[in-house]
Amino acid sequence: MAITTGSQKRQTSHDSLETAQTSSFQGWLVLLLVFVAGAASLCVEMAATRKMTPYVGDSLFVWASVIGLILLYLTVGYYVGGILSDRYPRPLYLYYITALASLFIALIPLLADPVLRWVQLTFADYELGVLYASLIAIMLLFAIPTILLGCVSPYAIRIRIQQIGSAGRTAGVLYAISTAGSILGTFVPVLVLLPYLGTNLTFLLSALVLLLLSVAGILTNRKA
């Protein structure tokens, strides 16, 4: 007959408490990631318009191109994120996606000027050259990172439903958190980052915050 000693009970209780604390930390980390990804997507959008202004101006054509294509890429990201989250429903893969997004955001300052000079010269003689130039530039510079950021919300919803259930409430909370991040990502760049740090550092700061959070998620989930 098996006998459970007091030390075994204490060890089991300790293990259960440690597991609960780890799960709680990872749950909060996912919520924070959703907030930061929402902020990063809008921060990139605001900085993109500022970066493109010296080359293609800031006309309604440019704003329409930026807003329309960013929304298109986010839509693609929502769809892709939903598929990937069903196929690979582990938090670790979500952090890989956001880490990759941060690296592509960090590349924008390096690639933007050559790409924008090229589209400016290529479409200079076209009647709607500004529209064509802005569309091509946005596709080349911002498609991949924005699609990857779009994957975050559906992926996070899938993970949180696994952890706590309650699909409707979970989706509502996460979309609210993402939208709150987007609001922050709209005003902070305009009021603080772009005027005081400049466009390139705004991209790099967004990438750095997203990367640090992604690395923290990767490390904690690999240990789990």
Q: Under 8 Å CB-to-CB from 171, ≥6 apart: which residues?
A: 157
pLDDT digits (tens, 9 = 90+) for 182-197: 999 999 999 999 999 9
Per-residue confidence (pLDDT) for residue 164, from 0 to 100: 65
pLDDT of residue 154: 93
Residue 174 corresponds to which tokens in the numbers above? Answer: 């996460």
pLDDT value at residue 219: 92
Task: Record the tokens describing residue 111, joined without a space.
Answer: 């690639």
Selection from 83, 4, 46 nearest residue 197 by Cα: 46
* pLDDT the model gives residue 53: 92
Q: Please, which residues have CB within 8 angstroms of residue 61's CB and are 6 or more apart in sequence?
A: 128, 130, 131, 134
Q: What is the pLDDT of residues 94-153, one digit of tens each?
A: 999 999 999 999 999 999 999 999 999 998 888 788 888 999 999 999 999 999 999 999
**Does residue 206 register a pLDDT over 80?**
yes
- Shortest CA distance to 36 belongs to which of 209, 193, 156? 209
Percent with pLDDT over 70 in the chain: 87
Structure tokens at 188: 């902070």
Whose CA is closest to 106, among 207, 25, 215? 207
Across 3-17, 62-76, 98-112, 156-170, least confident range: 3-17
Q: Answer whether 110's CB lies under 8 Å from 214's CB.
A: no
Candidates 128, 107, 112; CA nearest to 204 is 107
What three-state secondary structure class fits 88?
coil
CA 163 vs CA 70, 118, 149, 197, 210: distances in Å: 31, 48, 22, 39, 23
Quote helix, strand, coil % in the chain, to nearest 5.
90, 0, 10
Structural domain spans, the chain: 50-223
Question: How sure is the predictor about 14, in pLDDT bands with cuts at 50, 70 and 90?
Answer: very low
Which residue type occupies 181? G
Rounded to whole angstroms, how far apart are CA atoms 197 and 195? 6
- The total number of residues shown for the chain amounts to 224
> Rounded CA gap, 196 and 48, in Å?
16
Entry pTM: 0.87
User: What does the pLDDT average to over 64-80?
Assistant: 94
12 falls in which pLDDT band (50, 70, 90)? very low
